[in-house]
Structure 1
């Protein structure tokens, strides 16, 4: 067996080993956690930006973040403004997973190889977390309430996640197209999924995609192809 030695430099970060030794996590999730914990406490985290720091795509990053969320390393909390409405969502990254003691009387810690198990006490986690802001501004929530109605926490979180995965301008553009069709948020979400599948990143990309759809639609009419509007194979929603 070969012996591996680490040549350390001065540019390093000290973090808790719990996440790195947690056998529930994939190497991908461990790497993402370690990377996030190197960031400043007030660093604003955007999925699209972080994907530029590695050769993995956004799908890989989202999968790793999902693992961390499921294992208690990532928690999202709604932040309300002075009017009592949700103004943004804040995400807390924990070095040691947060255990929901109120839901689990005897949480299993067999896969958490930490030297000091009491660290799992949620009261002691307050100094063991990173307040990395993965959030949406209140303007996109205001746009929703002004045009669609009351914003519940489920839709607010969904909007927040889409803003982080794409951008606020794309989310608003999708909402605007849903409004033109007299549809609700789930329709706007369908538009966003379609844009992601077509690698749309900017409003310019949206315009190009819609122009291409209109051209293709015109060609089909000229050659006598008449597909029903519910044919999902070719239909572009939002127009």
Structure 2
């Protein structure tokens, strides 16, 4: 049995650090790397990509709304042309950086508000899917497990991997609890590690109301921007290793 472990990285900006990318890269198998719209600057993104290449970690374009101030977590309504162009621009930028670092982008994971919006918004999802197909139809889309966008993207011809979140609370319908609500983020590493084991092994997660929700956990995200992110990622990796679950990228680098 195998499962991917991913994290959002490359989000530091100039002198303002965000997370510990190098430490996280020693734990995860895939790195969702900021492309400059919600976070990250070119020099910092290059450092993170280079470190990922050196460790054989899969590289994904973490595309988002053009929202540095809001860290890409504010809902937006770009036009079809704007969203299409913005996604192509971000993927292309990371492809250039990855090539310079000796690596290659193999997948796309939308960030924050864009991720949550396209999970159910057919129009914005179509624009993101169209952009990925236009720049490289071989790229894999990493999307929220069980959301309508999964089948929409597959119907359009994309390979889709379904993702769950190690440290986020779930609603009874399988959606993420809004970050505006208390209890949306789980902070205890051991609690998170045990939840991940159940997700990976049994394909279920306990919702915030105590009910059990079925999920497909092909990839598990551990966020890289929380104060105890590295400790949490290490606890999750340790639990998976001890359970005999191989941690491996779903989209390894292509030649």
Bin for the TM-score computed over the shorter chain? under 0.3
Structure with the higher fraction of residues in helix conformation: 1
Give the structure with higher Rg (CA). 1
Under a length normalisation based on structure 2, what TM-score does the superposition of the two structures give? 0.24
Under a length normalisation based on structure 1, what TM-score does the superposition of the two structures give? 0.25
